[in-house]
Amino acid sequence: MRAPFGARVTTAVSLRGPLCVGVDPHPSLLADWGLPASAEGLERFATTCVEAFAGDIAVLKPQSAFFEAYGSAGIAVLERLIVAARRAGALVLLDVKRGDIGSTMAAYAAAYLAEGAPLAADAVTLSPYLGFGSLDPALDLAARTGRGVFVLALTSNKEGASVQRATGGGGASVVQEIVDEAAARNAGASPLGPVGLVIGATVGRLELDLSQLNGTILAPGFGAQGGTLADLRTVFGDSLRHVLPSSSREILRHGPDVAALRGAALRVRDSLAVAHPL
């Protein structure tokens, strides 16, 4: 039985530094790397990313949609990427943003979190906007298998604010209710619980109480999307020690040369480590 996800991500960050590299094979990026927009090009992209990052970076985050776009062949590439990255020592956070109810949510959970599932990763992203309780099948299975989930809380896209910052039924903001639900499921876990949150690196000063979360915060948008070290300090304050900044384009633009990619990732990682209070 593997160690709980909260313990594993804490160890990974302590050994490899606080960085998540997004593996996002946009068609335009494949073209920039001189690769065809095909399953073959996708395979070469994925293999290059594993070689460049998986031996040194704490977490790799493949975006499932870019692999799904190539059908079964693309999903097969994703399966191989997950296995290879984990064998090289990286944690794999599969960015799928799934959210549904009942037996359908249970099926999504089985696809990404069950033992022996071809797409089983160390953690996945989930959407709580059918109600946080709808995620219970995934939360329960993750807890049983030592895996994690990252629940969308406050995203940086402008469309999200109308829902996420709205006032919920209890009088708090919807996003605060999501934080509180995650905190309740992490209560008592050490060093951290299995339920993380996704909060954008560029959302500005938070009016959120994160003090009881006891979980990891994924902060996408660092680097090319505008997020800076100063933004991380502004957004997260005392909770920065639990933040895993995520960068993709800022690093991937250095490809397809493996050494250049690895060097770019290590520079970003080391710049974060200076300011990251472990």
Q: How far apart are CA 26 and CA 67, in angstroms?
A: 10
Q: How many other C-beta atoms lie within 10 A of the C-beta of residue 169?
A: 7
Gyration radius of the chain over CA positions: 18
| Known catalytic residue at 61 | no
- In a 3-state reduction of DSSP, which class is residue 1? coil
Q: Peptide bond preceding 191: is omega within 30 degrees of 0, i.e. cis?
A: yes
Burial annotation 172-198 (CB, 10 A radius, 16+ → b, else e): ebbbbbbbbbbbebbeebeebbbbbbb
Print the SS3 string covering 215-255: CCEEEECECCCCECHHHHHHHHHHHHHHEEEEECHHHHCCC
Q: 9 CB contacts (<8 Å, ≥6 apart)?
A: 58, 59, 91, 122, 123, 148, 192, 216, 244
131, with CB counted inside 10 A (0-12, 13-18, 19+), is: exposed
Taking the chain, what is the end-to-end CA distance rounded to the nearest angstrom? 27
Closest CA to 249 of 73, 76, 63: 63
Q: Which of 97, 165, 253, 254 is catalytic?
A: 97
Catalytic residues: 97
